[in-house]
């Protein structure tokens, strides 16, 4: 199991997520003028006053400065003449002649009108002569009612909505990874290297990591996830990682898919004559397998869903319980691997004794926060995974709270 709390560094508590209501979309507001119409400049224009009155020229009548007497004053009247008496007979003759000419002329125009017949003008001439035979009953054409032109409605192409995404709780509790069944043995053996030095510890961790890659690849793919091998770095003290500063405790960083192992502590314990060498080797194998369990959670999406649940938890106590479910699951997955390969590791009596000691003596009682589960529940989950070798038995997110206390 990991001896760092919580796995990957605990995110700072920011309280329950805010509940965001639907945004009230108000769009651009229209400005209305005095007449209630849309805004904008009110166009008035030039008022129309009707047609323009064009004054014509002023006519003052003939003559010059008024009608009156000419220059020199009144003239003496002339002597009256009788010549007008001669003109009367001549005028009578002229009038009678003009009357006779008019009567004759009118008579001639009437005669011309009676004897001249204008030809009719046809707008259409048939191309064939009319037949003497009577035609059949006239063909009558019924008036055709105008049919309204209609366009058949075209089916509206609608894009189906995207499928509903599972909730965070559905991911951590119902992922297909839980249905991948019992893990078959892959012939993994404890590496010959030991923790007598950092170099020996590094070799041990690399060999164990390669074995875990081989054991878990099949089940990750069966759960319809993409498998990627983990990385492993053996630390000789603290250091800086993508997941933040580390005090040197073993942990997994999902940002780069890397397992960081506290090599210094293992080397110190291995070289301590009062500590069992078998205990150190079992502890090294169990820690690598536990941190690899977090890698599996990362590959399957359980890690991301866990983080969302953690931030949404209403209380600190709820956050700690969710964190314990995550860590206990990694412990159970570690035991699945060891149970599946118990014949080849091998899990001897000495191995199983140290394994049982670890299960009964690991827990939050020796830590500052209750992040990994108490020593009361550790044996339950370690034996559950070891004996079943089945991933479904490690679904800690559906367990009752007393099983993850």
CA atoms within 13 A on the CB side of 110: 6
**In this structure, is residue 167 part of a structural domain?**
no
For residue 215, pLDDT beyond 60: yes
Under a CB-based contact definition with an 8 Å cutoff, are residues 245 and 260 in contact? no
Q: Sorting pLDDT into bands at 50, 70 and 90, what band is 272?
A: very high
**In this structure, is residue 40 part of a structural domain?**
no
CB-CB neighbours of 137 under 10 Å: 6
Least confident of 57-61, 107-111, 210-214: 57-61
For residue 216, pLDDT beyond 70: yes
Distance of CA 284 to the CA centre of its chain: 47
Of 148 and 373, more confident: 373
Query: SS3 of 232, please?
Result: strand
Residues spanned by the domain of 196: 189-404
Burial of 261 (0-12, 13-18, 19+ CB in 10 A): buried
Q: Which residues contact 160 (CB under 8 A, 6 or more apart)?
A: none
**In this structure, is residue 270 part of a structural domain?**
yes
Q: What would the mean pLDDT of 197-221 be, rounded to a whole number?
A: 98
pLDDT (0 to 100) of residue 37: 36
Of 44 and 227, more confident: 227
% of the chain surpassing 90 pLDDT: 57
Under a CB-based contact definition with an 8 Å cutoff, are residues 289 and 183 in contact? no
Q: What would the mean pLDDT of 28-54 be, rounded to a whole number?
A: 34
For residue 52, pLDDT beyond 60: no
Q: Which residues contact 131 (CB under 8 A, 6 or more apart)?
A: none
Q: What is the largest CA-CA distance in the chain?
A: 185
Q: What would the mean pLDDT of 75-79 be, rounded to a whole number?
A: 43
Q: Which long-range contacts (CB under 8 A, 24 or more apart) does 278-282 make?
A: 278/350, 278/351, 278/354, 279/354, 279/357, 279/358, 280/194, 280/195, 281/190, 281/194, 281/195, 282/351, 282/354, 282/355, 282/358
CA-to-CA distance for 285 and 195, rounded, in angstroms?
Answer: 11
Please give the structure tokens belonging to residue 119. Answer: 């030809």
Burial of 375 (0-12, 13-18, 19+ CB in 10 A): middle
**In this structure, is residue 154 part of a structural domain?**
no
**In this structure, is residue 37 part of a structural domain?**
no
pLDDT (0 to 100) of residue 368: 87
Please give the structure tokens belonging to residue 324. Answer: 């314990």
CA-to-CA distance for 333 and 291, rounded, in angstroms?
Answer: 10
- Tens-digit pLDDT profile for residues 190-204: 999 999 999 999 999
CA-to-CA distance for 201 and 267, rounded, in angstroms?
Answer: 7
Q: What would the mean pLDDT of 292-298 be, rounded to a whole number?
A: 98
Q: Which residues contact 254 (CB under 8 A, 6 or more apart)?
A: 8, 243, 294, 295, 298, 303
Name the domain count of the chain.
1
**In this structure, is residue 321 part of a structural domain?**
yes
**In this structure, is residue 296 part of a structural domain?**
yes
Q: What would the mean pLDDT of 116-140 be, rounded to a whole number?
A: 43
Q: Sorting pLDDT into bands at 50, 70 and 90, what band is 30?
A: very low
Q: Average pLDDT over the chain, rounded to whole?
A: 76
**In this structure, is residue 36 part of a structural domain?**
no
pLDDT (0 to 100) of residue 124: 35
Distance of CA 90 to the CA centre of its chain: 117
């Amino acid at each position: 199991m990991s001896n760092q709390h919580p796995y990957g560094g605990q995110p700072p508590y920011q309280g329950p997520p805010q509940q965001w209501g639907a945004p009230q979309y108000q769009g651009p507001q229209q400005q209305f003028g005095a007449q209630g119409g849309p805004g904008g400049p009110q166009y008035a224009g030039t008022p129309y006053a009707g047609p323009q009155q064009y004054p014509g020229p002023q006519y003052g009548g003939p003559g010059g400065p008024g009608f009156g007497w000419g220059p020199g004053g009144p003239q003496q009247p002339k002597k009256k003449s009788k010549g007008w008496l001669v003109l009367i007979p001549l005028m009578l003759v002229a009038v009678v002649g003009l009357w006779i000419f008019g009567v004759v002329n009118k008579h001639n125009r009437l005669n011309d009108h009676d004897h001249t017949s204008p030809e009719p003008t046809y707008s259409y001439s048939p191309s064939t002569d009319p037949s003497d035979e009577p035609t059949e009953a006239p063909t009558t054409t019924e008036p055709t009612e105008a049919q309204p032109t209609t366009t058949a409605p075209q089916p509206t192409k609608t894009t189906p909505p995207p499928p509903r995404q599972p909730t965070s709780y559905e991911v951590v509790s119902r992922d297909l990874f839980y249905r991948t069944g019992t893990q078959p043995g892959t012939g993994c053996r404890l590496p010959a290297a030991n923790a007598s030095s950092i170099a020996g510890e590094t070799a041990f961790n690399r060999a164990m990591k390669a074995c875990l890659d081989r054991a878990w690849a099949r089940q990750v793919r069966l759960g319809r996830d993409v498998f990627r091998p983990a990385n492993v770095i053996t630390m000789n003290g603290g250091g800086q990682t993508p997941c933040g500063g580390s005090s040197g405790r073993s942990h997994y960083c999902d940002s780069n898919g890397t397992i960081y192992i506290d090599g210094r502590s293992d080397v110190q314990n291995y070289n301590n004559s009062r500590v069992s060498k078998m205990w150190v080797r079992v502890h090294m194998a169990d820690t690598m397998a536990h941190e690899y369990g977090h890698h599996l959670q990362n590959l399957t999406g359980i890690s991301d869903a866990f983080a969302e649940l953690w931030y949404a938890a209403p209380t600190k106590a709820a956050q700690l319980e969710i964190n314990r479910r995550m860590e206990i699951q990694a412990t159970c997955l570690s035991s699945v691997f060891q149970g599946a390969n118990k014949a080849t590791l091998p899990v001897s009596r000495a191995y199983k004794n140290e394994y049982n000691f670890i299960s009964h003596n690991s827990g939050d009682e020796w830590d500052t926060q209750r992040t990994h589960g108490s020593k009361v529940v550790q044996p339950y989950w370690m034996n559950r995974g070891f004996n079943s070798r089945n991933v479904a038995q490690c679904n800690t997110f559906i367990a009752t709270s007393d099983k993850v206390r």
